[in-house]
């Protein structure tokens, strides 16, 4: 049995675990996470704590942030100066695409109330940007939802999008906007227009003929996929 840590953030893990159970009993929650009831009961009692692998599994099954589940804080809420202590390179923040489903509904309500709009950012090493010849001002971040692009992109993965692209490249993944909907799809050019491809056989390929292409706005090309481990 693991020894009990003294860090209060770790000790409060059981409270966060209880919160994401959303009223499920131990048996149902253990089945959801693919773990035994004994393991979950021990976590809830504070007798033991999950390994990083099990913590990641619980976060994925419950659709919550790994960082929040582990610490009670989201990565974007940690002051940038604290992150810099662990890196010798400059860290920059990339703004979230404003029509992302993660905050569009919240911002609609905040706008009605006259409150400041919610902004979210993703941190990344400036060296990574420079090595790839990208411009920070042309980058936005996006949080993927759903499993249409699995395994290339998984639910809650963080995406870095380059809005400055020269041409459409067959097989590359793009963020598109259609009316009020945002889409993450692989693009393929055909004589008649485009094919919007997903990796899920249950969802048909979307064919966009040349007369309707103007209804789709390409926001940019995916240049980095980060797994949901924060």
For range 166-195, the mean pLDDT: 90
pLDDT tens figures, 80-123? 455 444 444 567 888 888 765 545 555 566 567 665 554 456 67
Which candidate, 31, 9, 29, 34, places its Cα nearest to that of 19?
29
% of the chain with per-residue pLDDT over 90: 30
What is the chain's length? 230
Do residues 121 and 210 share a domain? yes
Give me the pLDDT at residue 4, please: 42
Residue 174 pLDDT greater than 50, yes or no = yes
Could you tell me if 205 and 198 are in contact, meaning their C-beta atoms sit under 8 angstroms apart? yes
What whole-number distance in Å separates Cα of residue 67 and Cα of residue 157?
13
- Predicted local confidence at residue 210, as pLDDT: 92
Output the domain CATH number for residue 148.
Answer: 2.10.109.10
* Whether the predicted pLDDT of 78 surpasses 60: no
Q: CA angle, corner 160, sides to 158 and 162, nearest 5?
A: 160
9's tokens: 């953030």
155 and 129 within one domain: yes
Residue pointed to by tokens 């598109």? 176
* 217/106 same-domain check: yes
Indicate whether 128 and 165 sit together in one domain.
yes
- Token duo for residue 142: 């996006």
pLDDT in tens, 48-75: 888 888 888 898 899 888 888 888 876 5
Reported as type and span, the H/E element at residue 73 is none
């Amino acid at each position: 049995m693991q020894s009990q840590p003294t860090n209060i953030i770790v000790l409060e893990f059981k409270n966060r675990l209880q919160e994401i159970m959303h009223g499920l009993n131990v048996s149902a929650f253990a089945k959801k996470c693919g773990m035994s009831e004994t393991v979950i009961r021990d976590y809830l009692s504070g007798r033991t704590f999950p390994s990083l692998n099990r913590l990641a599994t619980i976060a994925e099954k419950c659709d919550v942030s790994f960082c929040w589940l582990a610490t009670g804080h989201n990565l974007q809420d940690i002051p940038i100066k604290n992150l810099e202590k662990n890196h010798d390179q400059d860290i920059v923040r990339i703004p979230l695409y404003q029509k992302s489903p993660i905050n569009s509904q919240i911002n609609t309500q905040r706008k009605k109330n006259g409150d400041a709009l919610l902004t979210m950012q993703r941190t990344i090493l400036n060296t990574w940007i420079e090595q790839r010849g990208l411009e920070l001002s042309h980058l936005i971040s996006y949080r993927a939802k759903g499993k249409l692009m699995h395994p290339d992109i998984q639910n809650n993965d963080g995406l870095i999008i380059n809005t400055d692209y020269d041409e459409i490249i067959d097989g590359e993944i793009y963020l598109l906007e259609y009316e009020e909907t945002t889409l993450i799809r692989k693009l393929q050019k055909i004589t008649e227009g485009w094919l919007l491809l997903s990796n899920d056989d249950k969802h048909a390929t979307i064919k966009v003929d040349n007369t309707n292409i103007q209804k789709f706005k390409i926001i940019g090309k995916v240049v980095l996929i980060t797994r949901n481990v924060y």
